[in-house]
Amino acid sequence: MKRVLVIGGVAAGTKTAAKFKRLDQQAEVILLSKGQDISYAGCGLPYYIGGVINSYNELIVNTPQKYTALTGVTVYTGWEAIVVDVENKVVTAQSQEGIKQFFYDQLVIATGASASVPSIAGTDMPGFFTLRTPTDAAQILDYIEKQNVQQAIVIGAGFIGLEVAENLLARHIQVRVVEALPQIMANVFDSDMALLVQRHLQENGIQILTGVKASAMVGEKVVQGLQTDAGVLAAQLVISAAGVRPNTDFLKNTGIAMVKGTILVDETLQTNVPDIYAVGDCAMVSNRLTGQAQWSPMGSSANMEGRVLAQILHDGQVHYPGVLGTGVIKLPLLNCGRTGLTEEAAVKAGFQACTTTMVMDDKPHYYPGSASFIIKLIADKNTRKILGMQVIGVGAVDKITDIAVTAISMGVALDTLECLDLAYAPPFSTAISPFVQAVHILQNKINGLYHSLTPSEYKSGKAKDYEIIDVSIQPAIPGARYINLTDVTGPIAEIPLDKKILLVCMKGKRSYLLQTRLRAYGYTHTLALEGGLAVNDVKISFTGRGIPEEEIKRVKGLGFLRDKTTPDCFNARVITRNGKITAAESYAITKAAELYGNGQIAMTTRLTIEIQHVPYVNIEPLCNFLAKAGLDTGGTGSKVRPIVSCKGTTCQYGLIDPFSLSEKIHERFYKGYHDVLLPHKFKIAVGGCPNNCVKPDLNDLGIVGQRVPLLDKTQCKGCKKCIPRDTCPIHILQCDEAGKILLDTTRCNHCGRCIETCSFHVFDGYMEGYKIYIGGRWGKQIKHGIPMEKIFATEEEVLETIEKAILLFREQGITGERFADTITRLGFENVQKQLLTNSLLQRKTENLQARVHLKGGATC
């Protein structure tokens, strides 16, 4: 009777053992697992942290008992292989029970990989974690809840790192991702596609720092930050997702061939040692297209390798074709898929790679919920076979990816795919599938019918000798010559036939249509920009001719306000969250002022820092420089504005920590509602006490820390030497004729100065909370906000009320009016009633989806 010994009990090991046992019921199959859990859902761990998966037990696919009952495989949990004797075919393992030897006829190594721990100081400190097992995820979640984590850093911008970041953001935790390489998702996405994803993540609240290396954890007893070459980044939690390393140390001195710790196998998944095989994250397999060795530690690959190996062990009639590195990832409001070779990898492998990047509707434009895919398709110009594909969009990118996987695996050329009869109905797809449309465009390009410039070629400057022509439906490129496609019925008088012109529209289609007309009319040097303005950042130089108003308006939306004393300079507003910045951030701002401005900075009344006198050409370099330090520009438009707070408990009078609260408000509403248009700007300020240093009541919504005295009048002795009365800064405490204390609660501002000042404990009791003012404003028409009647007891109540106020303003405000005007028009009692009930939250989705206030009323 054959004995197959499998070391490793997660994906590849359990799949191999179960499948082989089904093929050969007479064989003895033994599985050793180092841990107590087998077959757990490693890919689901980020979603457990984010709360999408609610129960720890849902992560465990199979218990050892259930697995044995289903498959007939004998399972030993808690046993770790420590020695493999290849001559005598015996594996020595250890557990708490001692040492045991396991003999085998055939050995399968499926020990997987462990999370890599960065070689930096302080990784043994509480608050630093890696994520590889369900236990890791449970410990991270427990730490978040017990430590009330508000700021987190993820090291590594691969799939797992970005998924972790997304799920931390879902818990309203401020997230930064630090990546040592110059791009996110390196080696799986080309840099042009990765940059689009990075921009999207940053716009949706995840700060990405690429080309930045971590050097040490910061903190005394627990993690308080991360030291990087971009400075110290504050955080209470650091999760390393910077790759994995194969668990193969126990194979030293066995003679098994390895590459950087991975076990080298052939197409039968066999090592160089007879009767020893390897699958899963510890195995170095081959690339299906190039035949070259490739490590692909993916759960999908591990399961397929296990299934194929079981058949190989049974009758040897199959072989493993290799991996394509297929992957898909869900991110905030965006999905990404990829398969095959990147453009860079295809060129390196010797293919004559031809690529095209296009923007496609994912469903007919008229169907509710329709959006777009951005697809990059790569093929070999000689064989016309697809080599790889990358796709991003809000829809079913997995479907597009899987079609490409099938095409690559079948080895078919573009021409075979031209009429691929894929399923169509408006709820699912366009009449011609987006994938097939991509095939058509790449066909046209290879056939010489479509002359284009890729996004990476445009970024590298290949269009510097070309005049940019805007062919969008409406003019969209400030300073560019605009041509309406439908008006072109012959040569354009002011454009010579031999002039080099780059045609640009919103997505690329109109550029192609105009190009075909112009070429028919004799134009010889036309290029269409692939992906159009949806993919590329196209700008016209205004040197010597003045910046048009529409461009001034656009950059204002980025936080750059025109310096009216100059023809082409702007003042850049740097968002400081609440007026508090780190030394590293301060250094980055001052350095940016030296490099890109006139070396001067100024504070606005809302505690925003302005870098002065930034030339127009320096706007993009300045933004890129600040992004390296995790800083953004902005704070303009009819939106929630940056949050202002006083210094709170670091002040002798501070009652609450406004930095902490304003940080949460910043993340949830300045960032979380960044794309929500309002009738006018909406300003929020947080004061730590009723001294009102930052004037909360002159904001659309102001929050003031409160300490409400709860008098125990029965303790008053009428001593007539009343310390609380003498302490009261606004003199509202009085004593009656008997010397008993009197408090006018209608005039008390809840400053808390009287608390614990009475020797007889009259003033020992108090309630901490928050007073909320609504409808204030400063500027041309100053108006003090009106306090709501309720004292709010918790931060969550405050955050919920802020959200209701924003939703009310968006839903019931008239474009152009301030929140104060809305309250006056609706009536304070009406507004307060709505803010103290939940109807606004119940209508939230409908409210945010409504296309209202598209212009807004903010002028600064």
Q: Is residue 835 part of a domain?
A: yes
**Chain segment 250-259, per-residue pLDDT in tens:** 998 899 999 9
799 pLDDT above the threshold of 90:
yes
Q: Is residue 257 part of a domain?
A: yes
State the pLDDT at residue 631: 86
State the pLDDT at residue 648: 77
Confidence band for 360, pLDDT divided at 50, 70 and 90: very high
Where is the domain boundary, 207, 242, 277? 242
On the 0-12 / 13-18 / 19+ scale of CB atoms within 10 A, 651 is: middle
State the pLDDT at residue 299: 87
Residues 782 and 823 in one domain: yes
State the pLDDT at residue 346: 96
What are the structure tokens assigned to 514, written together? 């105009």
Q: Is residue 323 part of a domain?
A: no
**Chain segment 433-483, per-residue pLDDT in tens:** 999 999 999 999 999 999 999 999 999 999 989 999 999 999 888 888 999
Beta strands in 128-188 (DSSP E): 128-130, 151-155, 174-179
Residues 685 and 771 in one domain: yes
Least confident range from 480-484, 699-703, 803-807: namely 480-484
Confidence band for 189, pLDDT divided at 50, 70 and 90: very high
Q: Give the residue carrying structure tokens 């990546």.
A: 179
Q: What is the CATH number of the domain that holds 791?
A: 3.30.413.10
Residues 109 and 121 in one domain: no
**Chain segment 288-297, per-residue pLDDT in tens:** 999 999 999 8
Residues 612 and 661 in one domain: no
Confidence band for 337, pLDDT divided at 50, 70 and 90: very high
Where is the domain boundary, 602, 628, 654? 628
743 near 699, Cβ under 8 Å?
no
7 pLDDT above the threshold of 90:
yes
Highest mean pLDDT among 148-162, 569-583, 646-660, 817-831: 817-831
Gap between the Cα atoms of 92 and 387, Å rounded: 44
DSSP class of 633: B
State the pLDDT at residue 606: 78
Q: Is residue 666 part of a domain?
A: yes
605 pLDDT above the threshold of 80:
no
Residues 793 and 681 in one domain: yes
Q: What is the CATH number of the domain that holds 580?
A: 3.30.70.3340
Residues 658 and 795 in one domain: yes
Q: What is the CATH number of the domain that holds 462?
A: 3.40.250.10
Higher pLDDT, 39 or 524: 524
Mean pLDDT of 621-645: 88
Model pTM above 0.85? no
Q: What is the CATH number of the domain that holds 196?
A: 3.50.50.60
543 pLDDT above the threshold of 80:
no
582 pLDDT above the threshold of 90:
no
State the pLDDT at residue 248: 94
In Å, how far are 202, 285, 341, 351 from 292, measured between CA atoms? Answer: 36, 8, 12, 14
Q: Is residue 348 part of a domain?
A: yes
Residue 113, classed as helix, strand or coil, is strand
Q: Output helix, strand, coil percentages for the chain, rounded to the nearest 5.
A: 30, 25, 45
Confidence band for 578, pLDDT divided at 50, 70 and 90: confident
CA atoms within 13 A of residue 550's CA, in its CB half-sphere = 8
State the pLDDT at residue 580: 80
Residues 501 and 490 in one domain: yes
178 pLDDT above the threshold of 80:
yes
Mean pLDDT of 267-294: 95
Mean pLDDT of 265-287: 95
Residues 347 and 283 in one domain: no
Residues 444 and 461 in one domain: no
Q: Which domain holds residue 659?
A: 644-712+764-849
State the pLDDT at residue 129: 93
Gap between the Cα atoms of 512 and 72, Å rounded: 61
Residue 484, classed as helix, strand or coil, is coil
Mean pLDDT of 801-827: 97
Q: What percent of the chain has pLDDT over 70?
A: 100
Confidence band for 655, pLDDT divided at 50, 70 and 90: confident
Beta strands in 564-671 (DSSP E): 569-574, 601-603, 609-615, 644-645
**Chain segment 57-115, per-residue pLDDT in tens:** 777 777 889 999 999 999 999 999 999 999 999 999 999 999 999 999 999 999 999 88
147 near 65, Cβ under 8 Å?
no
391 near 375, Cβ under 8 Å?
yes
Confidence band for 585, pLDDT divided at 50, 70 and 90: confident
Q: How many folded domains does the chain comprise?
A: 6
Residues 352 and 442 in one domain: yes
In Å, how far are 701, 775, 797 from 835, measured between CA atoms? Answer: 12, 13, 11
Confidence band for 37, pLDDT divided at 50, 70 and 90: confident
State the pLDDT at residue 382: 94
Q: Is residue 373 part of a domain?
A: yes
- Type of residue found at 833: K
Residues 582 and 665 in one domain: no
Q: Is residue 235 part of a domain?
A: yes
Residues 660 and 803 in one domain: yes
CA quadruple 569, 574, 580, 583: dihedral sign: negative
Q: How far apart are the first and last CA of the chain?
A: 82
700 pLDDT above the threshold of 90:
yes
Mean pLDDT of 794-805: 96
Average pLDDT value over all residues in the chain: 91
Q: Is residue 857 part of a domain?
A: no
**Chain segment 385-398, per-residue pLDDT in tens:** 999 999 999 999 99
Q: What is the CATH number of the domain that holds 340?
A: 3.30.390.30
Where is the domain boundary, 449, 478, 509? 449
**Chain segment 406-426, per-residue pLDDT in tens:** 999 999 999 999 999 999 999
Beta-carbon count within 10 A of 530 CB: 28
Confidence band for 630, pLDDT divided at 50, 70 and 90: confident
Mean pLDDT of 801-829: 97
Nearest C-alpha neighbor of 336 from the set 327, 345, 344, 348 = 327
